[in-house]
Structure 1
Amino acid sequence: MILLADDEPAFQRLTGAWLRGLGHQVEVAGDGDAARAAFAAKPADLVLLDLAMPPHHDPEAGLALIPAFTPAPVVVMTGHADHALALKAIEAGAWDFLAKPVDPDLLRVVVARALERARLAREVATLKAQAGGDEDMGLVGTSPAMAALRALIRRVAPTRLPALVLGPSGTGKELVARAIHAASPRATRPLVPIHCGAVPAELLESELFGHLKGSFTGATTDRPGLIETANGGTLFLDEIGEMPAAMQVKLLRFLADGSYQPVGARAPRMADVRIVAATHRDLPAAVAEGSFREDLFYRLKGIVLRTPSLDERASDVPLLSSMFLRRTSEGRASFTPDALDWVAERRWPGNVRELRAAVECAAALAIPGAAGLMVGAADLAFAVGDLPSEPASSVFKTLDEEVAALERRRILEALGRTGHNHTHTARELGLSRVGLLKKMDRMGLR
Structure 2
Amino acid sequence: MILLADDEPAFQRLTAGWLRSLGHEVITAGDGDTARSAFEAHGADVVLLDLAMPPHHDPEAGLALIRQFAPSPVVVMTGHADQPLALKAIEAGAWDFLAKPVDPDMLKVVVERALERARLARELAAAQAREHSAEDMGLIGQSQAMVSLRDLIRRVAPTTLPVMVLGPSGTGKELVARAIHAASPRAARTLVPVHCGAVPADLLESELFGHLKGSFTGAHADRPGLVETASHGTLFLDEIGEMPAAMQVKLLRFLADGSYQPVGARDVRHANVRIIAATHRDLAAAVAEGSFREDLYYRLKGVVLKVPALEDRAGDVALLARVFLRRVDGAPAHFAPGALEWLEGHGWPGNVRELRSVVECAAALAPQSPGGRVIGIADLAFAMGEDAATAVAESPPPSSRQSLQEEVMELERRRITEALERTGHNHTHTARELGLSRVGLLKKMDRMALR
TM-score interval w.r.t. the shorter chain?
0.7 to 0.9
Q: 1:382 to 1:292 in 2, by over 3 A?
A: same
> What does residue 181 of structure 1 align with?
181
Percent of residue pairs bearing the same amino acid type: 69
Q: Residue 121 of structure 1 contacts residue 188 of structure 1 at CA under 8 Å; is this kept in 2? A: no
Question: CA separation in 2, counterparts of 1:62 and 1:214?
Answer: 29
Q: 1:350 to 1:189 in 2, by over 3 A?
A: same
> What does residue 322 of structure 2 align with?
322
Residues 192-211 of structure 1: per-residue CA shift (max 9 Å, x gap): 22111222222222222233
Question: CA separation in 1, counterparts of 2:218 and 2:111?
Answer: 40
Q: Residue 76 of structure 1 contacts residue 89 of structure 1 at CA under 8 Å; is this kept in 2? A: no
Q: Residue 194 of structure 2 contacts residue 236 of structure 2 at CA under 8 Å; is this kept in 1? A: yes
Structure 2 residue 195 is matched with structure 1 residue 204 = no
CA drift at 1:170: 0.8
Q: 1:72 to 1:332 in 2, by over 3 A?
A: farther
Counterpart code for 1:269? R
TM-score for the superposition, normalised by structure 2: 0.72
Q: 1:19 to 1:143 in 2, by over 3 A?
A: same
CA drift at 1:44: 0.7
Q: 1:345 to 1:23 in 2, by over 3 A?
A: same
Q: Residue 325 of structure 1 contacts residue 331 of structure 1 at CA under 8 Å; is this kept in 2? A: no
Equivalent positions of 1:415-426 (< 5 A) are none
Q: Residue 311 of structure 1 contacts residue 348 of structure 1 at CA under 8 Å; is this kept in 2? A: yes
Structure 2 residue 115 is matched with structure 1 residue 95 = no
Q: Residue 377 of structure 2 contacts residue 388 of structure 2 at CA under 8 Å; is this kept in 1? A: no
Q: Secondary structure at the match of 2:388?
A: coil
> What does residue 166 of structure 1 align with?
166
Structure 2 residue 254 is matched with structure 1 residue 279 = no
Which is worse superposed, 288-297 or 35-44? 35-44
> What does residue 47 of structure 2 align with?
47
Structure 2 residue 357 is matched with structure 1 residue 357 = yes
Question: CA separation in 1, counterparts of 2:63 and 2:135?
Answer: 39
Which is worse superposed, 314-323 or 64-73? 64-73
Which is worse superposed, 9-18 or 360-369? 9-18
CA drift at 1:48: 4.1
Q: Residue 70 of structure 1 contacts residue 189 of structure 1 at CA under 8 Å; is this kept in 2? A: no
CA drift at 1:318: 0.3
Equivalent positions of 1:258-277 (< 5 A) are 258-277=258-277
Equivalent positions of 1:140-151 (< 5 A) are 140-151=140-151
Which is worse superposed, 172-181 or 110-119? 110-119
> What does residue 125 of structure 1 align with?
125
Q: Secondary structure at the match of 2:338?
A: helix
Q: 1:26 to 1:168 in 2, by over 3 A?
A: same
Q: 1:286 to 1:188 in 2, by over 3 A?
A: same
Question: CA separation in 2, counterparts of 1:264 and 1:56?
Answer: 25
CA drift at 1:145: 1.4
Question: CA separation in 2, counterparts of 1:391 and 1:145?
Answer: 29
> What does residue 426 of structure 1 align with?
none
Question: CA separation in 1, counterparts of 2:376 and 2:84?
Answer: 61
Equivalent positions of 1:24-423 (< 5 A) are 26-49=26-49, 53-55=53-55, 69-74=69-74, 95-96=93-94, 115-128=115-128, 135-219=135-219, 221-329=221-329, 332-390=332-390
Unaligned segments of structure 2, at least 5 residues: 396-451
Q: 1:55 to 1:357 in 2, by over 3 A?
A: farther
Counterpart code for 1:199? V
Residues 181-237 of structure 1: per-residue CA shift (max 9 Å, x gap): 222233333322211122222222222223345544554554432223323322111
Q: Residue 331 of structure 2 contacts residue 373 of structure 2 at CA under 8 Å; is this kept in 1? A: no
Q: Residue 329 of structure 1 contacts residue 363 of structure 1 at CA under 8 Å; is this kept in 2? A: no
Q: 1:56 to 1:348 in 2, by over 3 A?
A: farther
CA drift at 1:21: 9.3
CA drift at 1:179: 1.6
Q: 1:247 to 1:391 in 2, by over 3 A?
A: closer
CA drift at 1:378: 2.6
Q: 1:71 to 1:170 in 2, by over 3 A?
A: farther
Q: 1:11 to 1:246 in 2, by over 3 A?
A: same
Question: CA separation in 1, counterparts of 2:245 and 2:187?
Answer: 31
Counterpart code for 2:318? P
Counterpart code for 2:93? W
> What does residue 398 of structure 2 align with?
none
Q: Secondary structure at the match of 1:224?
A: coil
CA drift at 1:255: 1.6
CA drift at 1:146: 1.1
CA drift at 1:141: 0.7
Q: 1:280 to 1:52 in 2, by over 3 A?
A: farther
CA drift at 1:320: 0.4
Question: CA separation in 2, counterparts of 1:64 and 1:167?
Answer: 45
Q: Secondary structure at the match of 1:199?
A: coil
Question: CA separation in 1, counterparts of 2:379 and 2:6?
Answer: 65
Q: CA RMSD in A?
A: 4.0
Q: 1:61 to 1:157 in 2, by over 3 A?
A: same
CA drift at 1:283: 1.5
Counterpart code for 1:187? A
Number of positions where the alignment pairs a residue of Structure 1 with one of Structure 2: 392
Question: CA separation in 2, counterparts of 1:66 and 1:222?
Answer: 22
